[in-house]
Amino acid sequence: MGRWWRWRRVAFKGRVTQAEFAQFASREGWWYSGSQEHEWFGSAHTWDTVEGLVIRFFTGGPVPVPFAEVSADEPEMCQRAMADAEAAAVRAFPCFSVADCLNLARGSSGGATVRALNGLAAVVPDRYSRAVGEVVIPALFAPESTVRSAALRVVRMAAWPELVRPLAAAALTEPDEEAARLARDIVADLSGADVLTFLVRPSADKEPTTDTGHRPDDDAQRTAGQARRSRQPGSAQEIFVWTP
């Protein structure tokens, strides 16, 4: 991929309705082309522009924050027009920025973290950001299921190959089957491979045995404890090692 943006997204802080966005689109000279269904993001109202842009407005759903996405069939030829359309939306409505969401996520917990991650999911850029990764990866292993689910939304929206390995580890330690299945699906979608492709087991030390060929009780207890930890969110590094 070149140095150009494939798409730009704008996440709205308020409850922007389809009618409000339609009025804005009309003022900008965009023409309505109907609604579309997106595999990941749900239903979108769509507008086209004379410059060849496609603007999709999502009212919520899989990502519970209204947002607009600006793209084009040939985005490398429409970079200026895409930036102008994004800027127009930011001027028209109160919007989240990546920095807003990261600052809130770093200093919050529980429900506030979920809200920050939901906003981040809707505004995350199409290029890998280390700052975003440093917030999202730990959230994939958070104790709260709502935080883990919100982190999955960010990964799904970003579609960054750089997050495949930690996501694969999260898929194998996620106790909620639906969330684990979604994580596996995202890994497959981004890489075309099974989660186990990206994981290696660290080499285990040779374990001592007694004369009867059995491990001492303390070794067995330690192994049982490791197995229990492997089923807990956040314990992927107890068993698996990935290369960022």
pLDDT digits (tens, 9 = 90+) for 15-25: 899 999 999 99
Residue 136's pLDDT is 97
Residue 220's pLDDT is 33
Residue 228's pLDDT is 36
- pLDDT of 108 > 90? The answer is no
- Quick one: which of 175, 141, 143 has its CA closest to 155? 141
In this structure, what is the dihedral angle of CA atoms 153, 155, 157, 160, given to the nearest 10 degrees? Answer: 180
- Quick one: which of 130, 132, 107 has its CA closest to 122? 132
Cα distances from 146 to residues 113, 124, 191, in angstroms, run 9, 19, 25
Give the residue carrying structure tokens 């505004």.
123
Q: Provide the residue type at 4 as one letter.
A: W
Q: Is the dihedral of CA 105, 106, 111, 112 positive or negative?
A: negative
The strand pairing partners of 34, in sequence order, are 46
Residue 217's pLDDT is 43
Q: Cβ distance 136 to 154 under 8 Å?
A: yes
The strand pairing partners of 112, in sequence order, are none
Q: Compute the average pLDDT of residues 20-35.
A: 97
- Quick one: which of 150, 168, 42, 163 has its CA closest to 105? 150
- pLDDT of 65 > 50? The answer is yes
Q: Compute the average pLDDT of residues 73-97.
A: 95
DSSP 8-state class, residue 67:
E
pLDDT band at 222 (very low <50, low <70, confident <90, very high): very low
pLDDT digits (tens, 9 = 90+) for 173-204: 999 999 999 999 999 999 998 888 876 655 55
Residue 172's pLDDT is 92
Q: Delineate the domains of the chain, giving CATH numbers in brackets.
A: 7-92 (3.30.1370), 98-201+231-239 (no CATH)
Rounded CA-CA distance 16/20 in Å is 6
pTM: 0.73
Q: Cβ distance 115 to 109 under 8 Å?
A: no
Q: What is the mean pLDDT of the chain?
A: 83
Q: Which residue has the higher pLDDT, 62 or 189?
A: 189
> Percent of the chain beyond pLDDT 90?
62
Q: Is the dihedral of CA 87, 5, 99, 43 positive or negative?
A: positive
Which residues 6+ apart lie within 8 Å of 99 measured at CB?
Answer: none
| 130 φ, ψ (degrees, to nearest 5) | -60, -40
- Quick one: which of 6, 1, 3, 2 has its CA closest to 125? 6
pLDDT band at 63 (very low <50, low <70, confident <90, very high): confident
pLDDT digits (tens, 9 = 90+) for 113-161: 999 999 999 999 888 999 999 999 999 999 999 999 999 999 999 999 9
